[in-house]
């Protein structure tokens, strides 16, 4: 059996719903359908989830919510009208949202999640009514009744392992299951949402729980591309990549599939197939445990900006016991997480997400590093981009770093840092943000151009 997930852009209009109806009914193995909230109908449109966040914010501030409330209901109403779905479902959605908005606001995080989750929850009810109306009996399944139990870390919930056994029962459902993505319930029965785009996670959890043969993730692009199409026009598509490769690419900006959604799929070894709702015949991208080695060593090139680096040097650092530990404890005391720590003999560099820093914190950390470690030099720099070449085949091929660094040198890009883990799944280059596009284009030319 297959678990199928549709993202918000596949559920924004009546035409979208007709399209997903075709897809689901074309394959009897597609038995569980996970849905997002309606997404954007056109480029400047708002996602229902974003409208709901605004709604909750206004309600918490005790501002008037009437206009926004009606705007949200109108989104469901439009879809119901366009698909000829029984109008009573819209009335149900209206009273559900009203009940939520009138509920207790003592815990703002809980209230926010309650409102946010309604996007998926009500859309699942609408989609179930739509399928049933078209002659395919479908049941909306509530995550609480199905047993999707999560932690109470609102907006960043994590699934609890006891969920899987209960969710397994969904295998035996006699109708098509329509399951709302993005949220679960805590042990005390409260709604708690995953992080943004978390319906991917719900789909992966269900695929794991029912031991699906395949988890199909329908979105609005044909495939995962070898590089961000914003940097290279019409880049090649990736037909197959491993969980580890996807994880590395997701880390540096490939946001097509939620990185946390890889965990349940990976644990159960369930292949994930990324496909385009609007072009279901396109090949898409499969994420698998093992793949045949592709022609070249690199499967994709990713980049992410907004990093900062803290450079620390001290003569004879290599001989000093506990130096690294003390550096990291200064970071910990200041509530900072670091991403990478490349080092030399007498120096080390910490790469951090720059949005954690501010001028006061920077001065405090730099002073602590100098004072407590007796460092000769501490320098903090911003606007660093990390560019990554990713591919499991690099492990077996000699000279990939050479090819990459030569391509960067020929394009006039200075490499500020190189980091290659011993797993050899990726090589990471730290460069100045201004050179990000040039670097990506040069690497694409080197590894993918015919
Ligand atoms: N609707 C939620 C969001 O926009 C979750 C999802 O679409 O996966 O983040």
CA distance 325 to 321: 9
For residues 33, 139, 76, 21, the Cα torsion angle rounded to the nearest 10 degrees is 50
β-strand 237-238 against 224-225: which pairing, if any?
Answer: antiparallel
Same domain membership, residue 396 and residue 431: yes
CB 31 within 8 A of CB 2: yes
Same domain membership, residue 283 and residue 205: no
CA distance 161 to 158: 9
Which residue spans within 18-126 are E strands per DSSP? 30-35
CA distance 343 to 289: 32
Of 4, 6, 37, 277, the one to substitute when testing ligand 1's pocket (max ligand atoms within 8 A of C-beta) is 37
Handedness of CA 88, 43, 238, 280 (dihedral sign): positive
Beta-bridged to residue 238, according to DSSP, are: 224
- 3 lies in some domain: no
Same domain membership, residue 171 and residue 26: yes
In 3D, which of 101, 77, 75 has the Cα closest to residue 89? 77
Closest atom of ligand 1 relative to the 198 alpha carbon: 8
Same domain membership, residue 203 and residue 66: yes
Neighbouring CB atoms inside 10 A of 117's CB total: 26
Which one of 170, 188, 212 terminates a domain? 212
For residues 252, 415, 240, 194, the Cα torsion angle rounded to the nearest 10 degrees is -10
- 350 lies in some domain: yes
Q: What's the total number of domains in the chain?
A: 3
Torsion angles phi and psi, residue 218, rounded to 5 = -90, 130
Same domain membership, residue 111 and residue 53: yes
Of 11, 154, 157, 182, the one to substitute when testing ligand 1's pocket (max ligand atoms within 8 A of C-beta) is 182
Orientation of helix 48-60 relative to helix 108-133, angle to 10° = 140
Give how far Cα 159 sits from Cα of 4, 41, 103, Å.
Answer: 19, 31, 25
Same domain membership, residue 308 and residue 438: yes
Same domain membership, residue 178 and residue 48: yes
- 44 lies in some domain: yes
CB 171 within 8 A of CB 3: no
- 2 lies in some domain: no
CA distance 140 to 180: 8
- 295 lies in some domain: no
- 65 lies in some domain: yes
Which one of 150, 180, 212 terminates a domain? 212
Same domain membership, residue 32 and residue 177: yes
Pocket of ligand 1 (CB under 6 A): 7-8, 36-37, 47, 49, 119, 181-182, 196-199
pLDDT one-digit tens code per residue, 80-96: 999 999 999 999 999 99
In angstroms, what is the C-alpha Rg of the chain? 24
**Is residue 353 classed exposed, middle or buried when 0-12, 13-18 and 19+ CB atoms within 10 A define those classes?**
middle
Torsion angles phi and psi, residue 307, rounded to 5 = -100, 155
**What's the pLDDT at 294?**
67
Same domain membership, residue 176 and residue 160: yes
Same domain membership, residue 349 and residue 220: no
CATH number (domain holding residue 406)? 3.30.2130.10
Residue 132 CA to ligand 1 center (angstroms) comes to 24
Which one of 212, 236, 261 terminates a domain? 212
Which domain range does residue 172 map to?
8-212
CB crowding 12-45: b at 16 or more within 10 Å, else e: bbbebbebbbebbeeeeebbbbbbbbbbebeeee
For 276, half-sphere exposure in the C-beta direction (CA atoms, 13 angstrom radius) is 13
Neighbouring CB atoms inside 10 A of 439's CB total: 26
First to last CA, the chain: 39
pLDDT < 50 regions, the chain? none
Of 34, 119, 260, the one to substitute when testing ligand 1's pocket (max ligand atoms within 8 A of C-beta) is 119
CA distance 29 to 213: 9
Same domain membership, residue 65 and residue 17: yes
Closest atom of ligand 1 relative to the 194 alpha carbon: 5
CATH number (domain holding residue 40)? 3.40.1160.10
Same domain membership, residue 145 and residue 96: yes
The residues, any chain, with a CB within 8 Å of residue 113's CB and separated by 6 or more, are: 154, 155, 183, 190, 191, 192, 193
CA distance 308 to 352: 5
pLDDT one-digit tens code per residue, 192-236: 999 999 999 999 999 999 999 999 999 999 999 999 999 999 999
Residue 96 CA to ligand 1 center (angstroms) comes to 19
């Amino acid at each position: 059996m297959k678990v199928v997930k549709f993202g918000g852009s596949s559920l924004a209009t009546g035409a979208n719903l007709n399209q997903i109806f075709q897809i689901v009914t074309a394959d009897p193995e597609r038995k569980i359908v996970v849905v997002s909230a309606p997404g954007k109908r056109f480029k400047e449109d708002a996602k229902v989830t974003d409208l709901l966040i605004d709604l909750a914010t206004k309600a918490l501030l005790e501002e008037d919510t009437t206009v926004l409330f009606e705007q949200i209901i109108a989104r469901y109403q439009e879809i119901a009208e366009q698909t000829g779905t029984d109008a009573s479902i819209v009335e149900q959605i209206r009273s559900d949202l009203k009940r939520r908005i009138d509920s207790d606001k003592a815990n703002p995080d809980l209230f926010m999640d309650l409102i946010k989750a309604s996007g998926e929850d009500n859309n699942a009810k609408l989609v179930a009514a739509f399928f049933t109306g078209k002659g395919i009996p479908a049941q909306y399944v509530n995550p609480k009744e199905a047993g999707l139990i999560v932690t109470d870390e609102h907006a960043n919930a994590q699934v609890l392992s006891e969920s899987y056994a209960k969710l397994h029962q969904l295998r035996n459902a006699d109708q098509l299951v329509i399951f709302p993505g993005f949220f679960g319930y805590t042990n005390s029965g409260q709604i708690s949402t995953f992080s943004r785009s978390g319906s991917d996670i719900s789909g992966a959890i269900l695929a794991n729980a029912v031991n699906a043969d395949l988890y199909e993730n329908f979105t609005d692009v044909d495939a995962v591309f070898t590089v961000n199409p914003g940097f290279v026009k019409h880049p090649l598509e990736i037909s197959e990549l491993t969980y580890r490769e996807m994880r590395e690419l997701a880390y540096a900006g490939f946001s097509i599939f939620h990185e946390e959604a890889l965990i349940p799929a990976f644990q159960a070894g369930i292949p994930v197939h990324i496909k385009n709702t609007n072009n279901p015949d396109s090949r898409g991208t499969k994420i698998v445990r093992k793949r045949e080695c592709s022609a070249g060593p690199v499967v994709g090139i990713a980049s992410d900006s907004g990093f900062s680096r803290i450079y620390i040097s001290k003569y004879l650092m290599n001989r000093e016991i506990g130096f690294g530990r003390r550096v990291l404890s200064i970071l910990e005391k200041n509530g900072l997480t670091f991403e990478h720590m490349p080092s030399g003999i007498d120096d080390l560099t910490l790469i951090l997400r720059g949005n954690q820093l501010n001028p006061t914190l920077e001065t405090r950390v730099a002073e602590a590093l100098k004072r407590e470690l007796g460092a000769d030099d501490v320098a903090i720099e911003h606007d660093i981009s990390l560019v990554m070449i990713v591919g499991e085949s690099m492990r077996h091929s000699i000279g990939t770093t050479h090819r990459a660094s030569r391509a960067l040198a020929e394009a006039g890009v200075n490499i500020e840092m190189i980091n290659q883990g011993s797993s050899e799944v990726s090589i990471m280059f730290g460069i100045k943000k201004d050179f990000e596009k040039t670097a990506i284009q040069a690497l694409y030319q080197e590894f993918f151009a015919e």
